[in-house]
């Protein structure tokens, strides 16, 4: 493995920092293609990236979402696609989710409104174990978020396509389990992969099944959200507030109503940053597994879309 060259095709990255991190684990990053390069690390790569890699075997996606790669006809069909969910990314996502959920639990937006009006608010809120919080999607990031919310004493549920088990978290699975998962939820966190089945899942029908005045946290993909349904749900009080790290169009256009909505909190798709040091260690371990003929961790199932 030592000396293996990896094509680095990541938009707006600190290339020097990534190069230093990979040198520590005996790997070399290059921005030049050519024969003999079997691995690449990508995020919004140039269109010609894969054509420059005749020996490509594995694509490491610098992010948990892979829908762009799966929809890119330039991606070689024989190349394995691996989702990044290294420790740095997982930790920052968990921190972001905790920040948003605690904010909605304590209804910080009520306090912000009161401050703008110079109004002293005698606010009451329940203990966390009386707040029903649900996590849609129990992959690496969703499971970590659910466990962290449990450790903060929230009443936590999780939902996934296939059955999962997490100590202290009520887990539901499949279409048949979705209604029970949603029933009475006061805060819902979306960490689903974006697939044809999950596109638009955050819609009026789902919002109606939550507790009235619930809050939404979407840190997955903008394509999960029906934006018009969100605005309508906020207007009629079905939802009280929403935190959005992702939107259907990014950057969000200047005139979009989300920017100035008093109950929508926006962040610029930065909920989870990847640390070059931990990413390098993770990728080095994956390359070692590949060299030993072992299956890659978090490899994408193209048929399932994640």
State the Rg of the chain over Cα. 21
221 is catalytic: yes
> Distance (Å, rounded) from C-alpha 102 to C-alpha 131?
10
> Distance (Å, rounded) from C-alpha 214 to C-alpha 140?
25
Query: From residue 271, how far is each of 24, 189, 218, 241 by CA, in Å?
Result: 27, 13, 10, 18
Q: Which of 105, 150, 221, 238 is catalytic?
A: 221
Give residues with Cβ within 8 angstroms of 95, minimum separation 6: none
Report which of 173, 205, 206, 175 is spatially closest to residue 189, judged by C-alpha positions: 206
Cβ distance 156 to 181 under 8 Å?
Answer: no
Q: Which of 5, 20, 256, 269 is catalytic?
A: 269
Give residues with Cβ within 8 angstroms of 12, minimum separation 6: none
Give residues with Cβ within 8 angstroms of 120, minimum separation 6: 114
Q: Which strands sit side by side in the sheet containing 58-61, from one edge to the other?
A: 28-30, 5-10, 39-43, 58-61, 80-83
269 is catalytic: yes
Query: From residue 16, how far is each of 62, 72, 270, 281, 287 by CA, in Å?
Result: 16, 28, 21, 16, 21
Q: CA torsion 90→44→267→243, rounded to 10°?
A: -70
The set of catalytic residues is 221, 269
């Amino acid at each position: 493995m030592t000396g293996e060259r990896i094509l680095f095709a990541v938009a707006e990255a600190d290339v020097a920092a990534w190069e230093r991190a990979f040198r520590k684990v005996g790997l070399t990053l290059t921005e030049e293609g050519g024969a003999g390069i079997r691995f690449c690390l990508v995020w919004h790569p140039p269109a010609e990236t894969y054509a420059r890699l005749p020996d490509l075997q594995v694509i490491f996606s610098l992010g948990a979402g892979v829908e762009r790669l799966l929809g890119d006809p330039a991606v070689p069909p024989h190349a394995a696609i691996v989702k990044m969910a290294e420790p740095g990314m997982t930790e920052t996502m968990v921190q972001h989710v905790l920040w948003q959920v605690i904010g909605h639990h304590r209804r910080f937006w009520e306090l912000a409104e009161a401050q703008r009006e110079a109004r002293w608010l005698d606010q009451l809120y329940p203990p966390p174990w009386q707040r029903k919080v649900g996590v849609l999607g129990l992959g690496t990031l969703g499971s970590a978020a659910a466990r962290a919310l449990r450790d903060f004493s929230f009443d936590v549920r999780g939902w996934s396509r296939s059955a999962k088990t997490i100590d202290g978290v009520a887990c539901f699975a499949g279409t048949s389990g979705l209604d029970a998962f949603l029933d009475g939820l006061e805060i819902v966190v979306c960490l689903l992969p974006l697939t044809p089945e999950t596109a638009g899942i955050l819609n009026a029908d789902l919002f109606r099944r939550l507790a009235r005045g619930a809050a939404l946290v979407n840190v997955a993909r903008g394509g999960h959200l029906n934006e018009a349904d969100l605005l309508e749900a906020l207007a009629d009080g079905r939802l009280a507030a929403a935190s959005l790290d992702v939107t259907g169009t990014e950057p969000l256009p200047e005139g979009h109503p989300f920017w100035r909505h008093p109950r929508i909190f926006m962040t610029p798709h930065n909920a989870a940053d990847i640390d070059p040091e931990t990413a390098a260690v993770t990728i080095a371990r994956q390359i070692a597994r590949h060299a030993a003929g072992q299956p890659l961790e978090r490899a994408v199932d193209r048929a399932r879309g994640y």
